[in-house]
Structure 1
Amino acid sequence: MLKRVTSRVWHLTTSIPPIRPGNLLPVLVMVILWFGLRFWGVSEDKAFVIACVTAQAYVIWRNLPGAALSLQKVERGKPRMLVIPVSIIIAVAALQLWLGSPLFTQRVVTFFCLVFLIVMVWGIMREQEMLDRVVPEGRMPHQVSAPVSLLRINAIVAAVVIGVNELLIAFETLSVWISLMPVLVLALHAFYWLMVLSVLPTASENQTGA
């Protein structure tokens, strides 16, 4: 029993894919800009907000072309759907720069994660209905394993980010908050893939099911 558990844990940890540089780059840009601005004498609050908004802008710029392309594949004219969310994000970024409040900028992270969490929970509530539409019962009699849903995993990750962010806001300084972001990204990457890999059926389970 212990050997099987140990082997399973070892298999999961060694199967975690490496993090993509593009996923780590925003927080690295944020940290570098923070220390650079502080070195040049910019106030702590102003440096924090500028660094965070710059990282947010990079994330949007990096993901926007892919999102527009995905919508365009669904139906012509769909990329126009991005106008509203992008406008909201730009307005939030401008508001952060105008207010210059680190607390507001930190709470922006909580807000967007909370919205994401609500969407995931709503999806979980409608999950079975959607699965029945995509794969009606009895339509795939030779299906090897049940479909794996990432909604619950995404919801857990969002809740973890909210919890960690709020703890850092309550008990740590801005320098600690911004310095721990790369560590948090790496930890979340490992945590996310451990959960994904743990719910995927193993080869032996697939053979048994077949």
Structure 2
Amino acid sequence: MKITPTSLTLENMDFPASGTYACEIALEIPLYSKASKIHEVSVIVRQKYRPKIKIKHKKFSSNDILEATCHSSPAHPAPHLTWLINNVKVDERLTIPHGTVNVHRHHHGMPLSLTNSSLRYPLSNLQLFPNQTVEITCMSTIPSYANLNEGFADVQNHTVTVNVVRMEPAPTQLPVKIITLEQNHSSDLIISRSIIGVIFIVGVLNFMEILM
């Protein structure tokens, strides 16, 4: 322990030292005392390496569902995993937590554990440009995902990039054939000739019936 007129430092803390701490200032003359706010202190074992992401394919279409898995490094307590797509946190309803697994490693008698998680993300949720790359990040933190104004005692992350080909929608109308004025006039001429031929044949038949 180190003490100065303005600070108190605790060193070489072991796991039983985890708990709530507060600081109190006391004066004898004049009689005065003031306690600080209570803070939770946790003794952790940091992660030695970044989490690992596994993806079967590195190329997708914009209609595919991106499936990936991630597991953290062993630590204490078990890290919390957070998925991000293009640096935006993924809705947790699209993730599948698989819990923690104890590993055969100890630190000062404390067993270490790692965390597993899966991701099923419909790429149709993204506004994609043709042949766009998408960044998938798995962030492993102690403690769990913090607010913007909070920090982490330990953080590691891993990012992989995949290529996404945007699928163009099928046309909704049948192709229209454009007919020029000359083609339209030719069609009308053929129809007129056909009508005249039919009238001529009918007239010949009627004439033959009269002769008979």
Identify the TM-score tier after normalising by the shorter chain: under 0.3
Largest Rg, 1 or 2: 2
Q: Which has the higher relative contact order, 1 or 2, with Cα contacts under 8 A spaced 6 or more apart?
A: 1
Task: Give the TM-score of the pair, scaled to structure 1.
Answer: 0.21
Q: Which has the higher helix share?
A: 1
